[in-house]
Amino acid sequence: MFLPRSVKVKRTPDEDRSCTAKKHKLSSGGSLLEETTEFQDCKSVGTETSASTYSLSETVQEHTEPAAADLGVANTPLGKDNQNTDEDGSLEEPIKSFSKSQRWAEPGEPVCVVCGRYGEYICDKTDEDVCSLECKAKHLLQTQAKEKQLRSDQCTDSQAEAHLLNTPYFYKDHSFILGLQDEQVENLKLQLGIAVQGQQVPRPIVEFEHCGFPETLNNNLMNSGYEVPTPIQMQMIPVGLLGRDILASADTGSGKTAAFLLPVIMKVLKETETPSALILAPTRELAIQIERQAKELMAGLPNMRTVLLVGGLPLPPQLHRLKQSVKVIIATPGRLLEILKQSSVQLHSIKIVVVDEDKKLFKPPVLVFVDCKLGADLLSDAVHKITGLQCTAMHSEKSQVERTDILQGLLQEKYEVIVSTGVLGRGLDLVNVKLVVNFDMPSTMDEYVHQVGRAGRLGHSGTAITFINNNSKKLFWDVVKRVKPTGTILPPQLLNSPYLHDQKRREQQRLKQLQSSLVTGDNIMDIIKKHNKNNSQR
Ligand code: AMP
């Protein structure tokens, strides 16, 4: 049983002590919470509220609830002995286990400090509002982490460094992962599209915390915005941390780079011989991206230098850097061979080799149209940052050399997205474009027709996605007339727009007028009669 909010706020330490500890089990169903959750039963002592808001005073083991929710475990109601009983002994609503089963807070209501839902309960340890056991567990973990961080901040850097380098690291399944049933793990992999082959492949992790990384690395992950691992990371990181050979395949943008970088970082962290790891990438752009990500993740870790060995940049500085006790080499094969041929650099200290093949299935490029140069530059940057796709902008300020490079890049699959102003709208046959997005609707139907025509040239079929708003209201009816016959389902906002109906009505009126002025077999006698009448009147 749990205390009503108001009572909890007012209660004294003595009252707290009167609460008796009791271990609860969840009802059947193999919930992950089973036997891991302790609740303290406290007799309700107040009558002020409807007792709809309670203090959570159970002890929850690390990671239990959040991950349980992630795994889609049903929101198992608490067993009979968990149900709250008020003074009259009547049953109250069971305490919510998972955040997702809690409703959102109404204005003015307490808000869960973790997820923002209705803060129905008060955490007994911190007096903060939480919505469920899951969020209480998360909240306590966050609080612990903050306290830890505070403590570690108090250590001097060199102490922390020495500690980091002297503590051996071995990956083993986290207790939470070990506690999962085989069926749950298989279900998780199925849901996330993780397929594995091989002997004794370790279970995937569900959170980065399951890896037992040093604090600095965990902070770097947070700072890079990596809150939860992607599916390829979940499975690949434990395998990599065990030092096993891996052949992995996942889509572009799925987080492959961090999936191999994190085990590499952990492996080379304590290596004293340099260089310790070699990462080969097929292109300069990819190598640069990998190095950027490696630097982000390695920030603050001791002696973790990287070197980039790629063509198209001067060789001497790269050679010089290579000789500065770097831990990780990130190279394109051509430049690496060039360096090995001409210098005395030895690579016998290398223990880990990663080949980032990046041979993606051919995906036709996307052509996005916007209405101004600045829009093209900004959107191209944003798409690249958010999706990791290779993007470029095309507009009238690009020089002829740049334009040629972009068009060649499009043909050679260097670019996956081109954001362009109207300059690419007509003329050129961009045969491999299959998808056009009119991010800004052009100002005329003529231009629109040319732009959507970029998808599906030479008899190939293609798709166009058009964003349209009231700025283009004068074109509504024309667009509908043009697009509807293709079988496209049009948004009701467009079909129900008063502008569209107005345009349609005017067009029909114009047609009627036109029809009445045309001479046909049906109306010729009427026209003659009218003409005669007019003449006789004159
Ligand atoms: P990649 O597939 O390795 O090229 O990664 C694509 C993008 O996703 C990059 O911008 C990464 O920084 C980002 N990324 C990788 N892992 C995560 C993660 N766990 N959470 C959020 N973003 C990630």
Distances from the Cα of 311 to the Cα of 217, 304, 314, 415, angstroms: 30, 23, 8, 19
- Count of domains observed in the chain: 3
| Within a domain: 23 | yes
Contacts 24+ apart (CB under 8 A), 19-27: 19/43, 19/57, 22/81, 24/58, 24/78, 24/79, 24/81, 24/82, 25/79, 25/81, 26/76, 26/78, 26/79, 26/82, 26/97, 27/76, 27/77, 27/78, 27/79, 27/80
Could you tell me if 347 and 370 lie in one domain?
A: no
Question: Could you tell me the distance, in angstroms and rounded to a whole number, from the CA of residue 91 to the centre of ligand 1?
Answer: 48
CA 352 to ligand 1 centroid distance, Å: 22
Q: What is the distance in A from the centroid of ligand 1 to the CA of 466?
A: 28
Within 13 Å of residue 93, how many CA atoms lie on the same side as its CB? 14
Give me ligand 1 centre to Cα 233, in Å: 10
Pair 463, 338 in one domain = no
Residue 325 lies in a domain: yes
Instruction: Report CA(113)–ligand 1 centroid distance (Å).
Output: 27
Residue to mutate, 206, 230, 383, ligand 1, most ligand atoms under 8 Å from C-beta: 230
Name the token pair of 126: 């911190």
- pLDDT value at residue 359: 60
Give me 384's structure tokens.
């690249």
In sequence order, the 6+-apart residues with CB closer than 8 A to the CB of 17 are: none
The protein residue whose alpha carbon is closest to atom 10 in ligand 1 is: 388
- 127 phi-psi bin (left φ>0, alpha ψ -120 to 50, beta other): left
Q: What pLDDT, on a 0 to 100 scale, did the predictor assign at position 150? A: 78
- Ligand 1 atom 8 nearest Cα: 255
Indicate whether 211 belongs to any domain: yes
The last residue of a domain, from among 323, 355, 387: 355
User: 393 and 336, same structural domain?
Assistant: no
Inside any domain, residue 495: no
Specify whether the CB–CB gap between 121 and 52 falls below 8 A. Answer: no
Measured by CA distance, the residue closest to atom 6 of ligand 1 is: 253
Answer yes or no: are the C-beta atoms of 3 and 44 closer than 8 Å: yes
Q: Find how far residue 356's CA is from the centre of its chain.
A: 22
Give the E-state strand segments of 187-336 in sequence order. 277-280, 306-309, 328-331
Q: Are residues 226 and 337 located together in one domain of the fold?
A: yes
**Residue with CA nearest ligand 1 atom 18:** 226
Residue 48 located in a structural domain = yes
Closest ligand 1 atom to the C-alpha of 293?
A: 12
| Count of other CB atoms within 10 angstroms of residue 28 | 9
Which ligand 1 atom sits closest to the C-alpha of 226?
A: 20
Task: State the CATH number of the domain containing residue 351.
Answer: 3.40.50.300
Euclidean distance between CA atoms 287 and 356, whole angstroms: 9
Say if residue 336 is in the same domain as residue 379: no
Res 362: pLDDT? 55
Q: How far apart are the first and last CA of the chain?
A: 102
Nearest CA to ligand 1 atom 14: 255
Residue 484 lies in a domain: no
pLDDT of residue 252: 77
pLDDT in single tens digits along all 538 residues of the chain:
233 343 233 223 333 333 222 223 222 333 333 332 232 333 322 223 233 334 443 333 333 333 333 333 233 332 333 334 344 444 567 889 999 999 988 877 888 999 999 999 988 888 889 999 999 999 999 989 888 887 776 666 667 777 777 788 899 999 999 999 999 999 999 999 999 999 999 999 999 999 999 999 999 999 999 999 999 999 999 999 999 999 998 887 899 999 999 999 999 998 999 999 999 998 898 999 999 999 999 999 999 999 999 998 889 999 999 999 999 999 999 999 999 888 778 888 999 999 998 765 556 789 999 999 999 999 999 998 887 888 999 999 999 999 989 888 887 778 889 999 988 876 666 667 889 999 999 999 999 999 988 887 666 778 899 999 999 999 999 999 999 888 888 999 999 999 999 999 999 999 888 877 777 777 788 878 888 887 777 6
Q: Where are the beta strands (DSSP E) in 105-181?
A: 121-123, 129-130
In one letter, which amino acid is 344?
Answer: S
Residue nearest to atom 22 of ligand 1 (CA): 226
Gap between the Cα atoms of 98 and 82, Å rounded = 15
* Spatial CB neighbours of 282, under 8 Å, sequence gap ≥ 6: 332, 333, 356, 357, 358, 359
Residue 504, C-beta contacts closer than 8 angstroms, at least 6 positions apart: 477
**Ligand 1 atom closest to the CA of 385, numbered from 1:** 10
DSSP of 404-436: HHHHHHHHTT--SEEEE-GGGSSSS--TT--EE
Co-location of 300 and 374 in the same domain: no
Last residue of a domain, one of 420, 444, 467: 467
Do 264 and 337 fall into the same domain? yes
Domain end call among 467, 491, 514: 467
Two tokens at 297? 């993740």
Residue 179, pLDDT score: 95
pTM above 0.85, yes or no: no
Q: How many helices (H) and strands (E) does the chain have?
A: 20, 16
Same domain, 302 and 377: no
50-85 pLDDT, tens digit per residue, is 333 344 433 333 333 333 333 332 333 323 333 343
CA atoms within 13 A on the CB side of 385: 8
**Same domain membership, residue 280 and residue 321:** yes
Let me know if residue 94 belongs to a domain. no
> Do both 284 and 419 map to the same domain?
no
Looking at the fold, whether 213 and 311 belong to one and the same domain comes out as yes
Pick the atom of ligand 1 nearest to 229's CA.
19
With both helix axes pointing from N to C terminus, report the angle between 231-241 and 256-268 in degrees, rounded to the nearest 10.
20
Ligand 1 surroundings by CB, under 6 angstroms: 225-226, 229-230, 233, 252-258, 293, 388
Q: What single-letter amino acid sits at 82?
A: N
Calpha distance 49→329 (Å, rounded): 64
213 is a domain residue:
yes
Radius of gyration of the chain (CA): 33
Assess whether the previous peptide bond of 275 is cis (omega < 30° from 0). Answer: yes
What's the pLDDT at 389? 85
Tell me, yes or no, whether 459 and 322 share the same domain.
no
Q: According to the model, what pLDDT value does residue 58 have?
A: 34
Domain that holds residue 44: 1-64
Q: Give the distance (Å) from ligand 1 centre to CA of residue 255.
A: 4
d(CA 481, CA 4): 62
Lay out the sheet containing 463-466: strands in order across: 391-394, 417-420, 366-369, 435-438, 463-466
Tell me how far the alpha carbon of residue 254 lies from the centroid of ligand 1, in angstroms: 6
